[in-house]
C-alpha cells in the first residue's frame, strides 16, 4: 500500500513539474512578445522623432523651436502609450500564468484525492472479502465435525424408544 502511495505522490509531482514547465514556457513567450512590442514601438517613436527634427531643421530656425516642442510632446505621448501597452501585456501574462498554476495545482490535488479514494475503497473491499473467507473457512469445518461426531440414530432405535399404546 505504501508503494501505491509513493507511486501516486511521484505521479503527482511529475504532473506538477509538467504543468509548471508549461507555465514557465508560456510566461517566457509572453515576455518575449512584450519585449518585441515595446521594442517596435520605441523604434517607431525614435524614427518619428528623427523625422520631425529633420523637418524642423529644414523649415528654419524660427519655426524649428515650435516644431521641436511639438515633436517632444508627440514623442512623450508615444512613449507613455508604449509603457502603458507594455504594462497591459505584463498584467495579462501574469494573469495567464497564475491561472495556469492554479489549474495545475487543482489537477494534482484532484488526481491525488481520486487515487486515495480508490485505494481506500480497494482496501476496504478486500478486508471484507478476507473476513467473509475467514468466516466460511472456520464455520464449515466445525459444522462438518459436529455433524460427523454426533451419534446417528437408526430408525429401529427411534421405534423402540416410542412408548407403546397397548
pLDDT of 13: 75
Structural domain includes residue 145: no
Tally the domains of the chain: 1
pLDDT of 129: 94
- 45 vs 123, residue with greater confidence: 123
Structural domain includes residue 95: yes
Structural domain includes residue 68: yes
Q: Which of 83, 99, 96 is closest to 30 using CA atoms?
A: 96
Structural domain includes residue 72: yes
On whether the CB atoms of residues 55 and 48 are closer than 8 A, the answer is: no
Grid coordinates in use for 66?
Answer: 515650435
- 127 vs 8, residue with greater confidence: 127
- Name, in order, each residue with C-beta under 8 angstroms of 57's C-beta and a sequence gap of 6 or more: 64
Structural domain includes residue 122: no
pLDDT of 134: 93
pLDDT tens-digit profile of 78-131? Answer: 888 888 888 888 888 888 888 888 888 888 888 888 988 999 999 999 999 999
pLDDT tens-digit profile of 22-31? Answer: 777 777 777 7
| Domain residue limits at 47 | 2-113
Structural domain includes residue 149: no
Q: How far is CA 36 from the centre of its chain?
A: 31
pLDDT of 130: 94
pLDDT of 128: 94
Mean pLDDT of all residues in 27-45: 76
On whether the CB atoms of residues 51 and 99 are closer than 8 A, the answer is: no
Structural domain includes residue 133: no
Q: Exposed (0-12), middle (13-18) or buried (19+): which is 113, by Cβ within 10 Å?
A: exposed
Structural domain includes residue 83: yes
pLDDT of 61: 61
Amino acid at each position: 500500500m505504501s508503494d501505491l502511495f509513493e507511486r501516486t505522490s511521484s505521479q503527482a509531482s511529475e504532473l506538477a513539474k509538467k504543468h509548471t514547465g508549461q507555465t514557465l514556457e508560456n510566461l517566457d513567450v509572453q515576455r518575449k512578445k512584450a519585449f518585441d512590442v515595446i521594442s517596435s514601438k520605441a523604434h517607431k517613436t525614435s524614427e518619428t522623432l528623427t523625422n520631425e527634427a529633420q523637418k524642423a531643421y529644414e523649415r528654419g530656425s524660427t519655426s524649428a523651436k515650435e516644431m521641436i516642442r511639438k515633436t517632444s510632446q508627440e514623442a512623450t505621448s508615444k512613449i507613455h502609450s508604449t509603457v502603458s501597452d507594455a504594462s497591459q501585456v505584463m498584467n495579462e501574462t501574469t494573469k495567464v500564468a497564475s491561472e495556469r498554476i492554479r489549474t495545475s495545482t487543482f489537477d494534482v490535488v484532484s488526481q491525488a484525492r481520486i487515487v486515495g479514494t480508490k485505494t481506500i475503497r480497494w482496501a476496504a473491499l478486500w478486508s471484507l472479502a478476507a473476513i467473509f473467507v475467514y468466516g466460511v473457512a472456520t464455520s464449515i469445518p466445525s459444522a462438518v465435525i459436529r455433524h460427523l461426531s454426533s451419534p446417528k440414530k437408526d430408525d429401529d432405535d427411534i421405534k423402540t424408544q416410542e412408548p407403546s399404546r397397548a
